[in-house]
Structures are given as structure tokens and as C-alpha cells.
Amino acid sequence: MSLDAVLDTVAAGCLVAGAMLCLAAGVALLRFPDLLFRLHAAAKPQVLGLLLVLLGCALRLRNGVDITTLVLIGLFQLASAPVAAHMVGRTAYPHRDIGRDLLITDELAPDWERINANRGVPSPPAQASQGPG
């Protein structure tokens, strides 16, 4: 078995694994009850599935320039997917769609009043002017 055949076989395995992760995320998005569960499921094809597919693509192409582009895509996705998921989760936090009975721990709840108090007052001068009134 030549090196090309071995590389092609590994690439095929990576591509199929990435596609399976995409399918798993699709099923999970449809069946999970809650936005936070869906965020958890949605991160799988965005990071691991995409990296597997890009690895399979790189193993098929075997070209320096193309592999550089694929590494760039993977690095950007690794940097951006957690940021996007965090912003969506943080926007959704005080929301009735999140089932509180399904949460194991809620580390934002003790600080929630303080955060809202800080957000209600835009700047310290405004706070000083509101004080006497």
C-alpha cells in the first residue's frame, strides 16, 4: 500500500467523521430542549467537525499553499467560535427560554443584581446628578 493510498484513506476517515459530527449536531439541535443545550451541541461541528474536515481536505490536496489556507481557516474558527457562542449565551441568559430547573450551577446569578445596577447607570457623573433627586 503506497503512501498516497494511506493518506487518501486517512483523509476519507477524517471527512466521514466530520460529516458524522455535523449530523449529530443537526439531530441535537432538533431534539435538545433549551438554548444552552443547543449551544453545546452546535459547537461540535464548528470546531472539531470543521477541523476534521479541513484535515481531510489537507491530506487530499497535499500542497503547501492550500494547507496554509486550511490552517488559516482552522485557526480563525478556533478563535471565533467560542467568542460567538459566549456572546449568544450571555445575551440569552436572563430569558425564559432557559430552563432553570435543568441548570446544575448558575455562577452568574449571585452577581446579577450588581451587574444590572451598574448597567442602569451609564457613567459616574450621571450617578452623581441622580443622587440628590
Partner 1 sequence: MIVVAVTVTVLLAIAGALVLVRIIRGPSILDRAVATDVLLAIVVAAIAMEAAYSRDATALPVLVVLAILGFVGSVSIARFATRKGDQ
The only residue of 3, 6, 7, 20 in contact with partner 1, by rule CB under 8 A: 20
Stretch that binds partner 1, among 91-99, 102-110, 112-120, 124-132 (CB under 8 A): 91-99
27 is a contact residue toward partner 1 (CB under 8 A)? yes
Q: How far is the CB of 111 from partner 1 (least distance, A)?
A: 18
Site for partner 1 in 111-130 (CB under 8 A): none
CA–CA gap between residue 24 and residue 108 (Å, rounded): 30
The only residue of 87, 109, 126, 128 in contact with partner 1, by rule CB under 8 A: 87
**Residue for grid cell 440628590:** 132
CB 56 within 8 A of CB 15: yes
**Residue for grid cell 449565551:** 89
Q: Is the dihedral of CA 93, 97, 98, 100 positive or negative?
A: positive
51 is a contact residue toward partner 1 (CB under 8 A)? no
